[in-house]
Amino acid sequence: MRRVAGLGLMSAAALAQATWAPRFEVGGAFPNLVLAAVVGLSWTLGTRSALVWAVAGGLLLDLTSSGPIGPHALALLPGVYVSGFWIRNLEHPNAVHVALTAAVCTVLYSAVLVLADDLLGTALPAPGAAVQLTIAAAIYNAVLAPFAYELVRRLQSLVRAAPQTS
Amino acid sequence: MQGARAPSRATGLFVVLCAATLLLAMLSQQPWAAGARGMAKSALAPVESAMTSFAAHVDRVAAVLGDVSSLRAENQRLRAADEQLRRQIVELQASAKENAALRQALNFQKSSGHRMVAANVIGRGPDGFSRTMEIDRGTADGVQPGMVVATGAGLFGRVRESGPHAAIVQTLGDPQSRVNVYLSTSNLQGTLFGGPTSLQMEIQHMLGVSASNGEWAITSGVGGGYPRGLVVGEVASVMHRDTSTTDQAQVAWVNDPASTTFVLVITDFLPS
């Protein structure tokens, strides 16, 4: 049940990312719904589970983008791993903690994505534009992440309450 | 609270997943994997198509609701009728807009003399760095990587990858996009490249001639990447640089990727 809910969440986030999110573009940046969901999962399920879900969500993003399959999955991992050191030592996060995690994850995600693009020889933005887009996306995702965290928490409560099938 | 072994176990998993995704990226980039990659990407196309049309539906409903909220001050008796009329207007406006765009595309198709395949935009690139779009036509419809994509207004981009029933288009806004163009009045040549908010153009200097605002940038056909004569955009501003061999200009693209819902793939022209 937990896996079905997780897969449903990631699929919905990735599809909404490829179809709806670009409609909310501000200054060239738009929210990353998969990243926001992964941040929510990091705070609710822990780092190891979030790493696995980050790969699942990243692969779905890769299927909707051009180029090889894998860069988005790879780019989501460092943020989850690094924020894990903080998450492990904090029992009751508030919205600011979650927002800061999303901002850090966005910066690492963008940096790894640009590095992966460079390594694989695919589309590479100009450094100035990349920094500008990253800052805008970090703010955007930081605003969005607390809502995603709340959604994941509620989803987790629903899954726990549902009768378990073995 | 998690156990003491949690950090090292997370580190192990992190390293394994990083290695696996990097390996997958490198393998899936190989030319022999293009078919499988295209098929995998095509698999999501029907769901994306359904979600995109649902999003368009939500937009219409939102437009109606926006109108309704602005009419709250009006009397109760007229509200229902007004809402209905407004919904009809929004729907008619949307239909008229779509009709105009389709007519423009049809005229473009007739006048250009190229063979084309019409396609709906069903998805957009998931990150802000690459500016791509997914369309609902693929190799089964004759759409191949490298083919030029246009709208009734002008040049839109190029097919980058193609699966059986979907393809990914690299728009002119993508940072990797390069188009050789000339300016309609001054005849100056240059190269146009993508940017996050607008198209940038490097204009080659020519003695006694300078570019000016309002000129049209049109594909020159130089390099064989695009057919000659496709409109790209209008020069919005020019920055003269005496110390350089080129001037820089900002070009207002004739296409707005945010509102583009269908495109035309030119199937009888492939880059040389």
Q: Is A67 on the interface with B (CB under 8 A)?
A: yes
Beta bridge partners of B158: B148, B170
Q: What angle do CA A28, B136, B88 make, to 5 degrees?
A: 75
Q: Outline where DSSP puts E strands in B84-230.
A: 116-124, 132-135, 148-150, 155-162, 167-171, 178-183, 189-193, 199-204, 216-219
- Alpha-carbon separation of residue A61 from A16, B99, B220 (angstroms): 10, 33, 35
Residue from A32, A55, A63 whose CB has the most chain B CBs within 10 Å, to mutate: A63
pLDDT tens-place string over residues A51-88: 999 999 999 999 888 888 999 999 999 999 999 888 88
Query: Residue B56's pLDDT is what?
Result: 72
Neighbour count for residue B189 (Cβ, 10 Å): 15
pLDDT band at B2 (very low <50, low <70, confident <90, very high): very low
- Alpha-carbon separation of residue A89 from A39, A100, A107, B42, B207 (angstroms): 16, 15, 22, 43, 67
- Asked whether the beta carbons of residue B48 and residue A17 sit closer than 8 angstroms, the reply is no
Query: Residue A163's pLDDT is what?
Result: 67
Does pLDDT of A46 surpass 80? Answer: yes
Does pLDDT of A38 surpass 90? Answer: yes
Question: Which chain A residues touch B175 with a CB distance below 8 Å?
Answer: 123-126, 129
- Residue of A54, A116, A94 whose CA lies nearest to B17: A54
Q: What is the 3-class SS of chain A, one letter each residue?
A: CHHHHHHHHHHHHHHHHHHCHHHHCECCECCCHHHHHHHHHHHHHCHHHHHHHHHHHHHHHHHHCCCCCCHHHHHHHHHHHHHHHHHCCCCCCCHHHHHHHHHHHHHHHHHHHHHHHHHHCCCCCCHHHHHHHHHHHHHHHHHHHHHHHHHHHHHHHHHHHCCCCC
Does pLDDT of A100 surpass 60? Answer: yes
Query: Which residues, in sequence order, are CB contacts of A8 under 8 Å at separation 6+?
Result: none
Beta bridge partners of A45: none
Neighbour count for residue B88 (Cβ, 10 Å): 11
Cβ proximity of A3 and A38 under 8 Å: no
What's the rounded mean pLDDT across residues B91-120? 72
Element (H, E) at B42: helix B34-43
Q: Between the ranges A74-88, A116-130, B67-81, where is the mean pLDDT highest?
A: A74-88
Which of 85-144 (A) contact B at CB < 8 A?
Answer: 85, 88, 91, 110, 113-114, 116-117, 120, 122-126, 129-130, 132-133, 136-137
Which of 183-202 (B) contact A at CB < 8 A?
Answer: 195-197
Closest Cα in chain A to B13: A48
Beta bridge partners of B252: B234
Question: Which chain B residues touch A139 with a CB distance below 8 Å?
Answer: none
Q: Is B153 on the interface with A (CB under 8 A)?
A: no
Average pLDDT score over chain B: 81
- Alpha-carbon separation of residue A22 from A124, B23, B189, B214 (angstroms): 19, 29, 33, 29
Q: Is B13 on the interface with A (CB under 8 A)?
A: yes
Query: Residue A166's pLDDT is what?
Result: 44
- Asked whether the beta carbons of residue A74 and residue B43 sit closer than 8 angstroms, the reply is no
What's the rounded mean pLDDT across residues A115-144? 84
pTM attached to this predicted model:
0.74
- Asked whether the beta carbons of residue A69 and residue B17 sit closer than 8 angstroms, the reply is no
pLDDT band at B7 (very low <50, low <70, confident <90, very high): low
pLDDT tens-place string over residues B159-179: 988 888 899 999 998 888 889
Question: Which chain B residues touch A120 with a CB distance below 8 Å?
Answer: 25-26, 29
pLDDT band at B18 (very low <50, low <70, confident <90, very high): very high
Beta bridge partners of A59: none
Query: Residue A120's pLDDT is what?
Result: 80
Q: Is A18 on the interface with B (CB under 8 A)?
A: yes
What single string gives the DSSP state of each residue in B19-32?
HHHHHHHHHHTSGG
Q: B208 exposed, middle or buried (CB, 10 Å; 0-12, 13-18, 19+)?
A: exposed
pLDDT tens-place string over residues B77-94: 676 666 667 656 765 666
Query: Residue B94's pLDDT is what?
Result: 63
B241 vs B261: which has the higher pLDDT = B261
Which value does ipTM take for this structure? 0.89
Query: Residue B77's pLDDT is what?
Result: 67
